[in-house]
Structure 1
Amino acid sequence: MRGYLIALLLCYQPGAAQDLLRYRNDNFALEVKQVDEFIERFNNDDHTLIKKYLQKLDSGFRFERGQLLKTLFNAADSTWRQPEVGRFIASVSDSTKPVYLDFFDDNWFAELRCTVLYKGKTDSLRLIMKVQRERNNASKWVFVGAAADFLTLPKSKDPAASLNPMSHAVGFSGIDRALSDQKNVRNYLPRGFENHALAIFVQETRNNLLRIQQVNRITYHFLQVDGWLFTLDNYRRNTRNSGWLISRLIPANAAAKLDYKLDVLNLK
């Protein structure tokens, strides 16, 4: 029995018809069905479904946190740098200074890839969300970022298009022409102007010009672990290694995480 339980951590196919039911039960127990369950397994909580399942099979069976963490990686990806994965697991499961994830922490985000209807046309949009803790200890998901081609200002077509430096002498009578120059809007804005895509997203939604039709894919970005960041994706397949699993692992110091927020998550 102990050997069988350890083999649960490996991917194999049932060898006989009578094994099929157990195989399906094993798959269900090992599948990471929600991000909450991922966090619980990552933290080695005692009340996770997989631990209850193992204890039902053998009440005395125990395995190290490092073994459980290995099951949280997408095993179908052959490009993992195993020494890097090993260092991450060793750091997180260090008995003297273990690392745990906090659902209410500020440093993790949900990325939603959506199909939207914008001004009557189908388009794509990325939304970034995070959990916000309220004063009464309640919590909620809030929008913190947005990215789409239609939310950004394009580069100007004519670098010479501008408001004359003597515009004040004629009472700025040319500003209407400037604001109607759609191809060169950036020329009339200061250097360093940042396009606030989230504000535009909210405004266009309020004006009923933008509607979200469906969420196609969700990726979670965890920046909570010192020295590392990783992403979480949902792998729907009939294997033991399925559900919400680590899809990417990146060594990252504080500066690299700040760049990641700006460049990847579009958080300004």
Structure 2
Amino acid sequence: MRKLVIVVLVILSSIELVSGQGLGSPGTIKDDGRFAASTKQVNQFFRRFNAEESVDGNQRYYPEDEFYRNRELRGKFISILFDNETSGISSDLKTTFMREVLSETLPQYINFHREGWFSEVEATFNYRGKIEKATLFLKLQPEGLGYEWVIDKVVFPPFKDIFKKPEGSNKSFLHPLSHELGFMNLRKAFQETNLPESFTTTDFQPDYLTLFLYEMKRGNLKFDNIRDVKFHFFQINNWYFELNQFNRPGFNTGWLISNLVKLKPGDKESILRYIYDQK
């Protein structure tokens, strides 16, 4: 065990950002192995990513403090904020990301109260006597003098097959002269099909969150348990990363970056569609 600790400390002390890229800044950051401590809270992830706390986590740094957002400290913190055991994020991608985030001329930080990040919560609910999985997407919004988490979207498998709007010749429709009949043909339309969504606009999208809350208010849907929580970040220009919690032996634990993507035009929209649709 002692040998393992020594090896880890040697590795951490030898971490460099990019060959030939200096980290000139006031003071010297002492690396005595305390960087290896687990990032236990999401708020601590923010502070470490921005270098707004001490190495041991016992002191918060503020703008007037010497090491507040210190570039060298940030580099060492960010280097241990990746999942290095299961994610498979390449070293080159990490280096490129860190080079841009730690830019001497235009460094980038993450902000708890700024848009561009949200939570994905996997939970279970009792729906009409059966346990079903639901994915809730929550975001922060201003409330009074502070902020609150609110449910923004939901993915609930039992609802996915409720609305199946036909297309083309398979779709029922209302004749363009229906108005001359006072739309009396609506009676026949609704009686002869179980797909009333056929008569909606081309861009119709079901509001699953409203339906979800309606079923809850009717007593058909009851909360059971939380199974998993993760966070999605788009706050760094042209980058996306996913934050997950890892509970395992060793130093590479806690809240860590598990997925990292360099965004090209259109990638953000594609990733959001994937996240929300769970495809």
TM-score, normalising length from structure 1?
0.76
Offset at 1:8? 7.3
Distance of 2:191 and 2:141 partners within structure 1 = 39
Distance of 2:133 and 2:73 partners within structure 1 = 43
The answer to whether the Cα contact below 8 Å between 1:37 and 1:48 also exists between their aligned partners in 2 is no
Distance of 2:214 and 2:154 partners within structure 1 = 12
Q: Structure 1 residues 255 and 98 mapped into 2: Cα distance closer, same or farther (>3 Å)?
A: same
- Structure 2: which amino acid aligns with 1:149? P
Q: Structure 1 residues 244 and 78 mapped into 2: Cα distance closer, same or farther (>3 Å)?
A: closer
Give the 5 Å matches for 1:92-241: 92-136=101-145, 138-152=146-160, 153-156=163-166, 159-164=170-175, 167-168=178-179, 171-176=182-187, 178-179=189-190, 183-241=194-252
Match 2:89 to one of 65, 75, 80 = 80
- Structure 1: which amino acid aligns with 2:134? L
State the Cα deviation string for residues 159-218 of structure 1 (Å, max 9, x = none): 254445555455444535544667423312221111222222222222222222111111
- Structure 2: which amino acid aligns with 1:37? Q
- Structure 1: which amino acid aligns with 2:117? W
Offset at 1:80? 1.7
Q: Structure 1 residues 27 and 217 mapped into 2: Cα distance closer, same or farther (>3 Å)?
A: farther
Which 5+ residue runs of structure 2 have no aligned equivalent? Answer: 1-5, 14-32, 60-70
Match 2:42 to one of 32, 35, 40 = 35
The answer to whether the Cα contact below 8 Å between 1:27 and 1:239 also exists between their aligned partners in 2 is no
Which 5+ residue runs of structure 1 have no aligned equivalent? Answer: 11-25, 53-61
Moved more, 254-263 or 184-193: 254-263
The answer to whether the Cα contact below 8 Å between 1:231 and 1:246 also exists between their aligned partners in 2 is yes
Q: Give the secondary structure class of the aligned counterpart of 2:113.
A: coil
Q: Give the secondary structure class of the aligned counterpart of 2:12.
A: coil
Distance of 1:112 and 1:45 partners within structure 2 = 27
- Structure 2: which amino acid aligns with 1:7? V
The answer to whether the Cα contact below 8 Å between 1:131 and 1:141 also exists between their aligned partners in 2 is yes
Distance of 2:189 and 2:174 partners within structure 1 = 7
Q: Give the secondary structure class of the aligned counterpart of 1:264.
A: helix
Distance of 1:201 and 1:181 partners within structure 2 = 27
Offset at 1:256? 2.4
Distance of 1:191 and 1:125 partners within structure 2 = 27
Q: Structure 1 residues 48 and 128 mapped into 2: Cα distance closer, same or farther (>3 Å)?
A: farther
Offset at 1:132? 1.0
Offset at 1:145? 1.1
How many residue pairs get matched? Answer: 239
Q: Give the secondary structure class of the aligned counterpart of 1:265.
A: helix
Moved more, 62-71 or 204-213: 62-71
Distance of 1:84 and 1:115 partners within structure 2 = 35
Q: Structure 1 residues 33 and 78 mapped into 2: Cα distance closer, same or farther (>3 Å)?
A: closer
Q: CA RMSD in A?
A: 3.1
Q: Structure 1 residues 261 and 185 mapped into 2: Cα distance closer, same or farther (>3 Å)?
A: same
Would you identify which runs of 4 or more consecutive aligned residues in structure 1 move more than 3 Å?
3-10, 26-29, 47-52, 155-158, 160-183
Share of identical aligned residues, percent?
Answer: 26
The answer to whether the Cα contact below 8 Å between 1:132 and 1:139 also exists between their aligned partners in 2 is yes
Higher RCO structure, 1 or 2 (CA under 8 Å, sep 6+): 1
Offset at 1:241? 0.5
TM-score, normalising length from structure 2?
0.74
